[in-house]
Amino acid sequence: MHVSVLGIGMMGLPIAKRLREAGFEVTAWNRTLEKALRLASHGARVAHTATQAVHDADVVITMLENGDVVESVLFGHGVDAALKPGCLVIDMSSIKPSQARSHAQRLAERGVAHLDAPVSGGTVGAEAGTLAIMAGGEAADFERAQPVFAPLGRATHVGPHGAGQLAKLANQMIVGITIGAVSEALLLAEKGGADMAKVREAIRGGFAESRILEVHGQRMVERDFAKRAALTVQLKDMRNALDTARELGFEAPITGLFEALYASAAEHGFGELDHSGLFRELARRNGMR
């Protein structure tokens, strides 16, 4: 099976590597060619254009910055016309559900199948092959994608086109809000004179336990905000969640509050930190380091 990966960034790179290790023929493309060239030593073919990359592909994976970029690559670079009939496009980017549904419809008109299959787990999960993959689309296409998903993580079919993106928005709402809760709680403890690291240790295993407390809480204790998932991407996802909520006539006040906090963090220069860097914004507001 020939798989083309469009978008060789922080997530696309380890995804393409794992597909090569699993024995797939992989072609890589990125707008910045140098990023794609990193895969040449792993046996991947590097294409200079997106249309070249997808010419003979059975499966095309897109892992791009946002929905507008996905649309531009698929429909503005001639990729849709270059896809062979029967090809399966798996969009693993995090975009709006409405955009995913539109892309699926437009590709179907060309005889091309589509799954929206965003992921959670960050670069750590991508490298380890333990991503949570949330897929929307036809059940038959989901089954067809199983060999591709297997080296990458655990895939779940959550509904029709757009449902994968709805699941990812739900994931990002929970992640973004929980990062804020952990940040605020640990900062309060430190402000009052407690040992932040010991407080985290004490509450682990109780009802406050979570993957965020485990992983991001440790980053907060160590003040390690090197980017694994950018704060600006978290902000984008919160805004996509709010846009989708408005389309559905759904009120999401908690997400609205945290969108404003992440926006403030970006405005104060923390945008290129890890999304756990919201801690820095809350510390700044309280005159703390």
CA distance 283 to 270: 12
Answer yes or no: 168 catalytic: yes
Among 17, 96, 168, 236, the one annotated catalytic: 168
Residue 241: CB partners within 8 Å, gap ≥ 6?
169, 172, 173, 252, 255
Q: Which of 123, 119, 89 is nearest to 105 (CA)?
A: 89
Complete DSSP assignment for 168-214: HHHHHHHHHHHHHHHHHHHHHHHHTT--HHHHHHHHTTSTT--HIII
Tokens 């998932």 sit at which residue?
A: 229
CA distance 93 to 120: 11
Q: Which of 112, 6, 95 is nearest to 52 (CA)?
A: 6
Q: Hey, is 111 helix, strand or coil?
A: coil
Tokens 């990812």 sit at which residue?
A: 168
Residue 245: CB partners within 8 Å, gap ≥ 6?
251, 252, 255
Q: Strand pairing of 119-120 and 131-136?
A: antiparallel
Q: Strand pairing of 113-116 and 59-62?
A: unpaired
Six-digit token pair at 137? Answer: 């689309």
Residues classed as catalytic: 168
